[in-house]
Amino acid sequence: MNPKLSRHIYGWLLVTPALILLIAFTHYPIVSTFINSLFSNGTVFKQSTFIGMESYQTMIDDPIFWKVIKNNLWFALGTIPTSIALAIIMALTVNKAFAGRAFVRMAFFTPTVLPMIAVANIWLFFYAPEIGLINNVLEFLGLEGKNWLGNTSTVLPAIMVMTVWKEAGFFMIFYLAGLQSISPELTEAAKLEGAGRWYYFRRVLFPLLLPTTLFVFMNAVLNSFKLVDHLFILTKGGPNNASNLLLYYIYENAFAFFDTNYAATLTVVLLVLLSVLALSQFFFLDKKVHYR
């Protein structure tokens, strides 16, 4: 056999198992979801029919959809920068040598390993109107407590706080690895030059951490669009859809309202948003942060 052809066949055989899994669990579901969004819901008595872009027009006219998109954008803007900033501060803190550093690292990382349902139940106890820890502390200080999860103005910020608490420790691990990969000679050189801590962080440390920041940023964005478990336990999207996010709205339409056609349409929108984000990373953001 031709050596070049043999090399190609051998290469394709190596990637075939991964390719089969990728097609079966990624590409096929995407195509199937798009096709389902073009057909009406089928029942035992009524066959599914082709309706084209009708469900997309319904989505455009749906005020709840636009509210959910707005909620998701505010949720992303509230959680992503806060989680990244807090993760950097935590990583800088535990990167230094001090007594009990291992315990502090464990304390920072512990929320990450907790199951999402457990986290939601913990914070449900914090936010409970009468017996909740937060309201008890406020009453002890002479302040009036609130129904944090029952008020449209406080429910989304309350979910944001819980999300930041859970995710910051996970992102801290990546920043800690990035800090430990930076040569200590840079720190020594900065000290010899008389650079202050803020100047050294802004002009030396953070630019070197930009590849890590991009990776963390992408994970944070993905996490902000796939929150379901916490909402199911805490608010179920309420009150008045004030805490409803896109993926939970998809779940609600598919498994609560059994409107699989509309759920497929919303899923296509979510896939388009994430695809645009991925393409922007590959073609624009990577060139900005990696040194070539």
The per-residue pLDDT string of the chain (292 residues; one tens digit each, 9 = 90 and over) reads 677 778 888 888 889 999 999 999 988 999 999 999 998 887 767 788 888 899 999 999 999 999 999 999 999 999 999 999 999 999 999 988 888 888 999 999 999 988 888 888 899 989 988 888 999 999 888 888 889 999 999 999 999 999 999 999 999 999 999 998 888 888 788 888 777 888 888 888 888 898 899 889 988 998 898 888 888 889 998 889 999 999 999 999 998 888 889 999 999 999 998 888 878 877 776 666 654 4
Given this model, what pLDDT does residue 40 score?
86
Q: Name residue 281's amino acid.
A: Q
The CATH label, of 3.30.70.270, 3.30.390.30, 3.40.50.10800, 1.10.3720.10, for the domain at 63-289 is: 1.10.3720.10
Tokens coding 279: 């393409």
Q: What angle do CA 119, 124, 127 make, to 5 degrees?
A: 125
Q: What pTM was computed for the model?
A: 0.88
Count of C-beta atoms within a 10 Å radius of residue 131 = 8
Helices (H), the chain: 3-22, 28-36, 54-60, 63-94, 101-113, 116-127, 133-140, 155-180, 184-192, 197-200, 206-208, 210-224, 229-234, 246-251, 260-280, 286-289
Given this model, what pLDDT does residue 1 score?
62
Tokens coding 91: 């990583």
- 49 within 8 A of 39, measured Cβ to Cβ: yes
Count of C-beta atoms within a 10 Å radius of residue 16 = 10
- 250 within 8 A of 270, measured Cβ to Cβ: yes
236-246 b/e with 16+ CB inside 10 Å = b?
ebeeebbbbbb
Given this model, what pLDDT does residue 44 score?
67
Count of C-beta atoms within a 10 Å radius of residue 269 = 16
Question: What distance in Å separates the CA atoms of residue 289 and residue 280, rounded to the nearest whole number?
Answer: 13
C-alpha distances (whole Å) from 89 to each of 26, 49, 61, 279 are 36, 55, 44, 30
Given this model, what pLDDT does residue 292 score?
45
Given this model, what pLDDT does residue 162 score?
93
Given this model, what pLDDT does residue 289 score?
66
Exposed/middle/buried for residue 136 (C-beta within 10 Å: 0-12, 13-18, 19+): middle
Question: What distance in Å separates the CA atoms of residue 223 and residue 170, rounded to the nearest whole number?
Answer: 12
